Amino acid sequence: MDYEKIFSQNKQDKIKGRYITLEHIEPLLQKLNTNNQLQLIGKSVLEQPIYSYQIGNGKTKILLWSQMHGNESTTTKALIDFLNFLNSKSETANQLLEFFTFYSIPMLNPDGAKLYTRENANKVDLNRDSQNLTQPESNILRKIYEEFKPDFCYNLHDQRTIFGVSDTGKPATVSFLSPSYNEERAINEDRIKAINIIVRMNEVLQQYIPGQVGRFDDSFNINCIGDTFQSLGTPTILFEAGHFQGDYEREETRKFIFFALLSGFIAIYENVIVDNEIIDYINIPQNNPNFFDFVYRNVRINYDSSEIITNFAAQYKEELIDNKIFFNAFVVKIGDLEDNFGHFEYDAKEQMYSDSNKNIPNLNQKADFYLGKNVEIVNGLVKL
């Protein structure tokens, strides 16, 4: 199957980048609302509408939700692309619509999306509210879950650029998890169903991003929605959209999430899921928080009246200014970086560090400095 071609045919070009709000997706959902598929299912803390989009009439029921965390928008873009595909009237789309019923909530946390925050307007992490259900958004999702009674749950998230695939030096562009349902992290029939789908999706993704698929930590936390739904007997898959080389807007990662969604559903439809693929799942390397956005090695600095050679790292801080996301780099670690990698790495070759302040890197300072007389670093990058 030509996943690249299918994606390019169904990509929604009117949304891109990291800042995706209800204002961006609402008109797109309205355009797809050709047969009352779009429904208002509740409102957020700030009284913003929360929509569902249901399509298909098959027996196998899929519940998907995105932007539970407002600043995690990559899977929202991919989900809109996938809804475009389901409306494409292609042979494959029609087959899936006959086999599945898809119930999606493209933006569970519109307030957090507008503010570009992980939490909702009450500063509550909705992914830690699955038991107490203190927030309107949490209650909406739980109500839909109980009424729809899905056969599978798809919990769609982003993860930070700090995650790599084990110690390979490759970024974790896409990561998956079949969440635990108890403290022992036991594997039962429901976890196995999710595991088998993850294995199929990983097989496809390895053709496009070899070595860049990770497995998320499965520590049990009943307050997390995936763990809760898994414990209630519904096979649940966590998606984490991560970093692809140079892709801070996550337009490439968006594509790979689309590939994963489509390939997983095709595998279920074609019944190519093998009963027990735990070993293949365990062999997906685990995520490792061993990346920084910038790593500078072999930098000469003056320290206590002596010259030493050291390393330091900088990380982007994402800041919302006038409805645009700006990536501002700050120094976050100085010293031993032997077990760390940088999405951008620079070997100073023992050139002298200098800046406009103390001529020594300090934590939390802006990553603007010089290496030697000719190399200027501005916001983390070499100024050309």
Per-residue confidence (pLDDT) for residue 218, from 0 to 100: 96
Q: Is 10 helix (H, G, I), strand (E, B) or coil?
A: helix
Residue where a domain terminates, one of 288, 310, 341: 288
pLDDT of 275 > 70? The answer is no
* 256 and 345 housed in the same domain: no
* Res. 277 pLDDT band, cuts 50 70 90: confident
* 83 and 163 housed in the same domain: yes
pLDDT digits (tens, 9 = 90+) for 11-35: 999 999 999 999 999 999 999 999 9
Give how many domains the chain has, as a whole number.
2
On whether the CB atoms of residues 44 and 115 are closer than 8 A, the answer is no
* Res. 274 pLDDT band, cuts 50 70 90: low
* 269 and 366 housed in the same domain: no
Token readout for 23 is 């204002």
| Domain of residue 70, residue span | 3-288
Average pLDDT rounded to a whole number, residues 353-362:
91
Token readout for 101 is 């019923």
Per-residue confidence (pLDDT) for residue 70, from 0 to 100: 98
Token readout for 199 is 């294995």
* 22 and 122 housed in the same domain: yes
Residue where a domain terminates, one of 265, 288, 311: 288
Q: Is 203 helix (H, G, I), strand (E, B) or coil?
A: helix
Per-residue confidence (pLDDT) for residue 180, from 0 to 100: 97
Q: How far is CA 25 from the centre of its chain?
A: 18
Task: Give the CATH number, domain containing residue 248.
Answer: 3.40.630.10
The backbone region for 123, taken as left when phi is positive above 0, alpha when psi lies in -120 to 50, beta otherwise, is left
pLDDT of 307 > 80? The answer is yes
pLDDT digits (tens, 9 = 90+) for 221-242: 999 999 999 999 999 999 999 9
Residue where a domain terminates, one of 253, 268, 288: 288
On whether the CB atoms of residues 171 and 343 are closer than 8 A, the answer is yes
What single-letter DSSP state applies at residue 207? T
